[in-house]
């Protein structure tokens, strides 16, 4: 093999990041998303995969065709579509967070498993139709720590048994559509209260405890023949006192490959994340991860540097050529699996993609929303000149609260004026912990409290750090609480619902998107506003 | 002609509204945007045009092909892309508001005309590449009333001469690309302080005054061979004491056709707007507009009812068949003009649309931004733990303030914390007119005041109704004004800049989009933040 050939083969093991939008100036995160010039150059140099984020389904369809055309070889094209393809690409199905099905699992495990499998099928099929061949899901982490800021409702359960059963079902569904799934974040990211996007979390548990709680969902996914496993950026002193899981031979080779018998593709979580990049340069992180047992390296800080370092490591004998061949062979076998897709469901680019979301997909979305709703108390009272107080915890362009969102329109129809609090609002707080809400800044009348709060990466908390229990007490005492809606965190909901007297209307949905708002408010008796249309009451 | 044939021909005179998005559940305004089932039915029944709003350039390209495939005839496909195609469809060029060039016209009329023509060419070409054949611009209204809530910076000038010269240049540029332009809103919507989206404004002027101020831009556009003229929903008692312009024979037939000699297509403004629909039903509004002299009816409240009413009016003899033929012939001639497009610039659907925005389009955007910037005082001081106070006046999903907007990121890099006030924030006002801003709710440190304020339809005011002059005084007195940026209203800028002592950094851009923010803040000395990329400093 010539050095140029070796370089090209090693490039096949890198996955770089691109926007789903077609033009450079449309990139939302240009710091992380390569420009087209660079993308084309790297793909022509043999880079083997792209992770995509952003844009509509139509844009993604054009984009994947473009990337595939630039590359001379079949690419791994992946995305973090854990909650349906519509979570990241506008227009595809956006489903409830997995934890919604996890909550159902306790009372109806068979139904929950069936739904998780349909969830996987829906996601896999739409991913495939849009040109993706690799879904970076399911999250196999057991969310047994309610303060987890980064996993939270992304997990399929808060017990090992539930997470195992449902993530395996997701894998079966997704892969039956000829799209690879990816169990993450190995060996388990559920029991942390810090965010690896920002720092390196530590899991203090023994091997025995890992075997009881963290590992079973991964074992179940492996038993379901999951094509790939993604590593976690976590410190696990009981397994490896030195290196984080992503860079640890003890974790990737000894535990995952040898003890759990996983023969598929091992991919790192994004190497650019602070947990890794704050401690290791782009070059060393890539070499260490590969040495530890990873086959594919996701989002190295600098693809050229990572590639040069890998090349040098092979040249110097630090990495064996045979090891490179093994990883390339695993990549080839994974791509081979994608070719076994069901026939008769192809989507031509010229078509309008109307066939992307089928009525059975709509039914699945709706069924999941209905099944995961909690409700207590009477319906909401009609018509009042009051305040629709919304807390929105996610600032990333807030796709859950468009202008025509039911959470805005339905209360408006009833006479409620919207006040939205997000991370950039003037403060709504009085400074007095007993009566924390500055009611004089909001206006008079009853208050409908709608909290769109869940754990979100990059926030550093699970959203439970604001005094909502005290606000509920304050509004109850002032006799101004018209109703409560919680979208997202089951932990916040459990905390607040217990405070409510039976005459207060209240409901909870694990999901936040407009369809979830329509569903929840309808359950409380407020049906469709004329402008919104489309949403089932 | 059989009744069915007549019905089909009459349908050709209707333009209905659709979302640029492909799937029903993606519609942002389902109250006004027809669902696909209805669209397909109406187009197959002969409806002759569609006005589109929303979605990305990619989605629009697929959408126009789909609509054209449903219709058995060439369609009029139009959009309100007054400020470049990117104003409505993400990814295309989004240019400064026309008034920016109007402001330049006084000191460099030749340059201003050249830029207006390039503006028209850029808009026409991108519209054509995405499948549109009719740009609903230029606004020919003379914005001589700073309190105008609906025209404002959409106008090409605040004098008749400027508006005439520049809107004619836009027409030439746009139509040279084989795309029809549309002079609006006849006979002039500039001198109103109310919004016809909400009510019927009154223009109290004499015919003589109209000839001096309102009509010259329309005459110039007609002289430039503009293909279409759109009517205004305005009361003009001097011309027609009974009917609003859209429904007035005196305005459309006597003034526009006879006196101004316009032989092209007359299209109504949206008949669904309150100014018309509050006074006339869908049926009568359509018949009255057609009787008055309109050829094409935009957005009737109910297309089937409008069509049935037109049919009945022809059957009963209220409308002559000959008159229907004339309008159809004008429509045919307009479509004929679109076929004379420049060759060698076609865009195939399979392509990635990378060719949509050329480097000369980027240059045009940038030149317009640079030329229209005002600045006074020194550069902004570096680094301070202060407040980046942003007033955002447009709630419609605020495309001007994405998460990565320079107006957010650059001050953040300097240590400023963002506080964004929009129509849904907790109140930032103290209630004291002397010191209106409740500074205690914002936090300590210097305040960078950024006002994204311009006239916007549906708001009911030009955005000058908040006490910003008093806020500037308050911050000056407290020695906390770090700087001022105004994006949008030149009137607000003129009012505030005069209050500022020379040591306060301040700047103005007529445009609000992220690129304008990058340009303005760079002029004040704050250059690119690493995350934003892409924007020229």
Which residue of chain A is at minimal alpha-carbon distance from B416?
A424
HSE value, Cβ hemisphere, 13 Å, CA-based, for B406? 25
Q: Each residue of B412-454: pLDDT tens digit?
A: 999 999 999 988 888 899 999 999 999 988 889 999 999 998 8
Facing A354 at nearest CB: one of B22, B390, B421: B22
Model pLDDT, residue A343: 45
Average pLDDT over residues B156-177: 97
Q: A22 and B349 in contact by Cβ < 8 A?
A: no
Interface test with A, best of B357, B426, B452, B537 (most A CBs within 10 A): B426
Which residue of chain A is at minimal alpha-carbon distance from B362?
A25
Interface test with A, best of B19, B43, B52, B59 (most A CBs within 10 A): B59
Written as six digits, the tokens of B67 are 């609509």
DSSP B472-519: HHHHHHTT-EEEEEEEE-HHHHHHHHTT--TTS-EEEES--SHHHHHH
Which residue of chain B is at minimal alpha-carbon distance from A362?
B25
Which of A337, A324, A213 lies closest to A264 in space, CA to CA?
Answer: A337
**pLDDT band of B536, cuts 50, 70, 90:** very low
Residues in chain A, pLDDT under 70: 340-353, 394-398, 456-464, 529-537
d(CA B247, CA B271) in angstroms, rounded, equals: 10
Confirm if B243 and B279 have CB atoms less than 8 A apart: no
Written as six digits, the tokens of A188 are 């388990």
Distances (CA, A) of B74 to B52, B124, B267: 16, 18, 17
Facing A426 at nearest CB: one of B58, B404, B421: B421
Written as six digits, the tokens of A92 are 């595809």
d(CA A510, CA A99) in angstroms, rounded, equals: 7
Distance from CA of B191 to the nearest CA of A (A): 30
Residues 6+ positions from A530 with CB-CB distance below 8 Å: B31
d(CA B77, CA A350) in angstroms, rounded, equals: 19
Which residue of chain B is at minimal alpha-carbon distance from A439?
B426
How deeply is B4 buried, as exposed, middle or buried, from its count of CB atoms within 10 A (0-12, 13-18, 19+)?
A: exposed
Facing B91 at nearest CB: one of A23, A357, A441: A23
Written as six digits, the tokens of A247 are 């860079």
Of the listed ranges A401-410, B216-225, B286-295, B339-348, the least confidently predicted one is B339-348
Q: B349 and A353 in contact by Cβ < 8 A?
A: no
Give B-chain residues touching A26 at CB under 8 angstroms: 90-91
Confirm if A186 and A232 have CB atoms less than 8 A apart: yes
Pairing of strands A481-488, A265-267: unpaired
Q: Each residue of A258-300: pLDDT tens digit?
A: 999 999 999 999 998 887 888 888 899 999 999 999 999 999 9
How deeply is A346 buried, as exposed, middle or buried, from its count of CB atoms within 10 A (0-12, 13-18, 19+)?
A: exposed
Interface test with B, best of A53, A61, A62 (most B CBs within 10 A): A62
Give A-chain residues touching B403 at CB under 8 angstroms: 28, 395-397
Residues 6+ positions from B504 with CB-CB distance below 8 Å: B377, B476, B481, B483, B484
Model pLDDT, residue A345: 54
How deeply is B465 buried, as exposed, middle or buried, from its count of CB atoms within 10 A (0-12, 13-18, 19+)?
A: exposed
Return left, alpha or beta for B309; rule: phi > 0 is left, psi -120 to 50 is alpha, else beta: alpha
Q: B419 and A396 in contact by Cβ < 8 A?
A: no
Distance from CA of A258 to the nearest CA of B (A): 41
Check pLDDT > 80 for residue B463.
no
Model pLDDT, residue A424: 87
Buried b (16+ CB within 10 A) or exposed e, B16-33: bbbbbbbbbbbbbbbebb
Average pLDDT over residues B167-196: 92
Model pLDDT, residue A348: 54
**pLDDT band of B212, cuts 50, 70, 90:** very high
Q: Each residue of B228-239: pLDDT tens digit?
A: 999 999 999 999
Model pLDDT, residue A127: 96
Distances (CA, A) of A235 to A119, A152, A245, A275: 32, 19, 6, 10
B269, B301, B361, B393: which one is catalytic?
Answer: B269
Size of interface A-B (CB pairs under 8 A): 147
Facing A533 at nearest CB: one of B30, B91, B354: B30
- Tally the residues of chain A: 537
Q: B425 and A426 in contact by Cβ < 8 A?
A: yes
Q: B23 and A357 in contact by Cβ < 8 A?
A: yes
- For chain B, the straight-line distance linking the first and the last C-alpha, in angstroms and rounded, comes to 64
Interface test with A, best of B23, B37, B53, B272 (most A CBs within 10 A): B23
Model pLDDT, residue A460: 46
At how many degrees (to 10) do helices B3-11 and B321-338 cross? 50
CB count in 10 Å sphere of residue B435? 17
CB count in 10 Å sphere of residue B326? 12
Confirm if A289 and A246 have CB atoms less than 8 A apart: yes
Model pLDDT, residue A535: 53
Check pLDDT > 70 for residue B298.
yes
Distance from CA of B31 to the nearest CA of A (A): 5
Residues 6+ positions from B465 with CB-CB distance below 8 Å: none
Facing A25 at nearest CB: one of B28, B403, B534: B534
3-class state of residue B92 by DSSP: coil
Written as six digits, the tokens of A435 are 């009566």
Distance from CA of B418 to the nearest CA of A (A): 6
Confirm if B171 and B432 have CB atoms less than 8 A apart: no
CA A349 to chain centroid, in Å, comes to 27
Interface test with B, best of A402, A405, A517, A533 (most B CBs within 10 A): A533
Scanning the structure block, which residue is given the tokens 């006040």? Answer: A419
d(CA B58, CA B22) in angstroms, rounded, equals: 11
Q: B403 and A28 in contact by Cβ < 8 A?
A: yes
Scanning the structure block, which residue is given the tokens 């990565």? Answer: B404
Written as six digits, the tokens of B89 are 């469809």
Give the ranges where A299-432 is alpha helix by DSSP (H): 303-315, 321-338, 359-372, 406-413
Average pLDDT over residues B23-31: 81
Residue A419's DSSP bridge partners are A389
Which of A126, A77, A277 lies closest to A197 in space, CA to CA?
Answer: A277
Active site residue A197: yes
Query: How many helices and strands, by DSSP H and E, does chain B display?
Result: 18, 14
Written as six digits, the tokens of B166 are 């520049």
Residue B82's DSSP bridge partners are B84
Confirm if A260 and A222 have CB atoms less than 8 A apart: yes
Q: B402 and A28 in contact by Cβ < 8 A?
A: yes
Following CA atoms A528, A530, A531, A532 in sequence, which dihedral angle do they give, to the nearest 10 degrees?
20
Give B-chain residues touching A350 at CB under 8 angstroms: 65, 349-350
Facing B58 at nearest CB: one of A62, A402, A418: A62
Give the ranges where B373-489 is alpha helix by DSSP (H): 406-413, 468-477
DSSP B292-352: HT-SBEES-SSHHHHHHHHHHHHHTTSS-HHHHHHHHHHHHHHHHHHT---SS----TTS-
3-class state of residue A162 by DSSP: helix
Sheet with strand A387-392: strands edge to edge: A374-376, A506-509, A481-488, A447-453, A387-392, A417-421
Distance from CA of B400 to the nearest CA of A (A): 11
Q: Each residue of B123-146: pLDDT tens digit?
A: 999 999 999 999 999 999 999 887
Which residue of chain B is at minimal alpha-carbon distance from A402?
B397
Give A-chain residues touching B349 at CB under 8 angstroms: 349-350
Q: B62 and A419 in contact by Cβ < 8 A?
A: no
How does DSSP classify residue B226?
Answer: -
d(CA A463, CA A471) in angstroms, rounded, equals: 15
d(CA A151, CA A161) in angstroms, rounded, equals: 17
Active site residue B432: no
Pairing of strands A49-53, A14-19: parallel
Model pLDDT, residue B343: 45
Give A-chain residues touching B43 at CB under 8 angstroms: none
Pairing of strands B297-298, B265-267: unpaired
Q: What is the value of pTM for the model shown?
A: 0.88
d(CA B257, CA B323) in angstroms, rounded, equals: 14
A21, A185, A189, A197: which one is catalytic?
Answer: A197
Which residue of chain A is at minimal alpha-carbon distance from B67?
A352
CB count in 10 Å sphere of residue A530? 9
Residues 6+ positions from A511 with CB-CB distance below 8 Å: A95, A96, A97, A100, A368, A369, A372, A487, A488
Residues 6+ positions from B82 with CB-CB distance below 8 Å: B98, B136, B137, B138, B139, B154
d(CA B382, CA B377) in angstroms, rounded, equals: 15
Check pLDDT > 50 for residue B87.
yes
Which residue of chain A is at minimal alpha-carbon distance from B57?
A59
């Amino acid at each position: 093999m010539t050095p140029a050939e070796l370089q090209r083969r090693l490039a096949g093991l890198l996955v770089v990041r691109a926007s789903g939008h077609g033009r450079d100036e449309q990139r939302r995160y240009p710091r992380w998303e390569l420009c087209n010039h660079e993308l084309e150059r790297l793909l022509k140099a043999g880079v083997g995969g792209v992770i995509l984020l952003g844009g509509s389904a139509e844009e993604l369809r054009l984009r994947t065709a473009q990337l595939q055309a630039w590359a001379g070889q079949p690419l791994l094209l992946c995305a973090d579509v854990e909650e349906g393809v519509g979570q990241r690409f506008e227009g595809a199905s956006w489903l409830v967070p997995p934890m919604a099905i996890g909550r159902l699992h306790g009372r109806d495990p068979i139904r929950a498993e069936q739904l998780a499998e349909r969830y996987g099928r829906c996601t896999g099929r739409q991913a495939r139709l849009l040109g993706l061949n690799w879904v970076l899901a399911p999250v196999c982490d057991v969310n047994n720590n309610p303060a987890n800021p980064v996993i939270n409702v992304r997990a399929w359960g808060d017990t090992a048994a539930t997470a195992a059963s449902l993530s395996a079902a997701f894998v079966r569904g997704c892969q039956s559509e000829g799209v690879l799934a990816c169990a993450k974040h190995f060996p388990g990211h559920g029991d942390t209260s810090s965010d690896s996007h920002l720092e390196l979390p530590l899991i203090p548990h023994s091997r025995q405890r890992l075997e009881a709680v963290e590992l079973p969902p991964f074992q179940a996914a492996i038993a379901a023949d999951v094509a790939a496993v993604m590593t976690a950026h976590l410190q696990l002193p009981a397994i490896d006192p030195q290196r984080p899981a992503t860079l640890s031979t003890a974790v990737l080779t000894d535990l995952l490959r040898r003890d759990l018998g996983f023969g598929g593709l091992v991919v790192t979580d994004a190497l650019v994340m602070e947990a890794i990049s704050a401690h290791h340069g782009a070059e060393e992180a890539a070499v260490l991860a590969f040495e530890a047992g990873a086959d594919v390296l996701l989002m190295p800080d600098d693809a050229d540097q990572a590639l040069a370092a890998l090349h040098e490591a092979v040249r110097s004998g630090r990495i064996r050529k045979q090891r490179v061949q093994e990883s390339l062979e695993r990549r080839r076998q994974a791509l081979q699996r994608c070719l076994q897709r069901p026939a008769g469901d192809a989507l031509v680019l010229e078509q309008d993609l109307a066939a992307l979301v089928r009525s059975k997909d709509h039914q699945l979305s709706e069924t999941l929303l209905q099944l995961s709703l909690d409700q207590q108390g009477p319906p909401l009272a009609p018509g009042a000149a009051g305040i629709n107080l919304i807390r929105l915890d996610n600032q990333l362009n807030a796709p859950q609260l468009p202008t025509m969102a039911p959470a805005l329109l339905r209360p408006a129809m009833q006479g409620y004026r919207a006040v939205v609090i997000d991370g950039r609002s003037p403060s709504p707080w009085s400074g007095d912990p007993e009566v924390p809400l500055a009611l004089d800044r909001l206006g008079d009348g009853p208050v409908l409290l709608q909290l769109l709060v869940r754990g979100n990466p990059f926030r550093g908390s699970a959203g439970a750090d604001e005094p909502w229990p005290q606000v509920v007490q304050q509004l109850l005492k002032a006799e101004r609480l018209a109703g409560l809606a919680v979208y997202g965190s089951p932990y916040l909901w459990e905390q607040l619902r217990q405070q409510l007297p039976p005459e207060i209307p209240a409901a909870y949905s694990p999901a936040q998107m407009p369809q979830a708002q329509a569903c929840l408010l309808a359950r409380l008796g407020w049906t469709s506003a004329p402008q919104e249309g489309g949403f089932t009451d």
